[in-house]
Amino acid sequence: MANRWKNDLTLDDVTPRQAFLNRRQIMAGMAGVTVGAIAGPAFAQELEPNSYEDITSYNNYYEFGTDKGDPARYASALTTKPWSIKIDGLVDRPGDYSFDQIMEGMTVEQRIYRFRCVEAWSMVVPWDGFELKDLLDRAGVQSDAKYVAFETAYRPDEMRGVAYPVLDWPYREGLRLDEAMHPLTMMATGIYGKTIPNQNGAPIRLVVPWKYGFKSIKSIVRITLTDTQPKTSWNMANAREYGFYSNVNPEVDHPRWTQATERKIGGGLFAKRQPTLMFNGYEKEVADLYRDMDLSKFI
């Protein structure tokens, strides 16, 4: 399959050489996976590689605790087999789809994306997955649909963090339909060619690389097509600080910190902060989605 997007990130920008001494060995274990080049413009020389350990040990997944290490410590309690996603609302073929049914016939690609948290830290992650558009097309989006709502699993017996009212559980997120159908928007099922770990959103999560990380909802169990803007967890918790769109924008600060710069995970406590790029570096690909919007108002 030909690459559809150009980029100047390579696997070496993400993977430490000691963890990637023989790329062919890794590729041999990725049957059916196409290595994509969808990463948008970048200053590769300024990127420091993120190790698999960095990516899987430093997470926000409040269902398992609010400390960055809690998901890696406690998310193993989440049962991911069997797994299904309910797809409902304004679709032609609603139903409960098993993970195997969802993956059947999907073209899985590896895409190297920047990941920018609203807390002003960042990573570069090689995700494995498929375009969300492919799944929505399979469900048959009806003409009245304008938004896509997502919901995370809610399992108090397995998710120790939901015992605390940090948010109104279950976790919910949403996108405008054109955002959801954009080629950069993907459903991730792996990292580095391996099955995605529980702490990173197993078995299937959303990845929207030009938005702050909390928009990329983990461990999805429901997708609903709707004609009204869905409620989203952080926006419900504090609308002044967390807008519905939550596009990465260095010109609009969080009320409690600047968004003009970011800290790259893996660089150490005293690493120099780097400038944040508009739309997290994907401005060329996605700016047209918001060309008539005041981005200081529609945050």
> How does the average pLDDT of the chain come out, rounded?
88
Residue 204: inside a domain, yes or no?
yes
pLDDT of 19 reads 43
Q: What is the mean pLDDT of residues 174-185?
A: 98
User: What is the pLDDT confidence band of residue 270, given thresholds at 50, 70 and 90?
Assistant: confident
Beta pairing class for 172-176 and 147-152: antiparallel
Q: Are 131 and 56 in contact (CB under 8 A)?
A: no
The reported pTM is 0.88
Residue 5: inside a domain, yes or no?
no
Residue 259: inside a domain, yes or no?
yes
Calpha distance 129→111 (Å, rounded): 8
DSSP 148: E
User: What is the pLDDT confidence band of residue 11, given thresholds at 50, 70 and 90?
Assistant: low
Residue 295: inside a domain, yes or no?
no
Residue 272 has pLDDT above 60, yes or no: yes
Residue 298: inside a domain, yes or no?
no
Calpha distance 191→37 (Å, rounded): 15
- Two structure tokens written together for 213: 């990380």
Residue 233: inside a domain, yes or no?
yes
Domain count for the chain: 1
Ramachandran area for residue 28 (φ above 0: left; ψ -120 to 50: alpha; else beta): alpha
Residue 207 has pLDDT above 60, yes or no: yes
* Residue ranges making up the domain that contains 58: 11-290
The predicted-structure confidence for 67-78, as pLDDT tens digits, reads as follows 999 999 999 999
Q: For position 280, which CATH number holds?
A: 3.90.420.10
Calpha distance 153→21 (Å, rounded): 37
The distance from CA 280 to its chain's CA centroid, rounded to whole angstroms, is 13
Residue 3: inside a domain, yes or no?
no
- Two structure tokens written together for 61: 């997944």
pLDDT of 30 reads 36
Binding site as annotated, residues: 59, 62-63, 117, 152, 200, 205, 216-218
Q: How many CB atoms lie within 10 A of CB 236?
A: 12
Residue 285: inside a domain, yes or no?
yes
User: What is the pLDDT confidence band of residue 268, given thresholds at 50, 70 and 90?
Assistant: confident
- Two structure tokens written together for 252: 């609009």
Q: What is the mean pLDDT of residues 6-32?
A: 41
Residue 16 has pLDDT above 60, yes or no: no
Q: What is the mean pLDDT of residues 11-36?
A: 40
Residue 4 has pLDDT above 50, yes or no: no
Binding site as annotated, residues for Mo-molybdopterin: 59, 62-63, 117, 152, 200, 205, 216-218
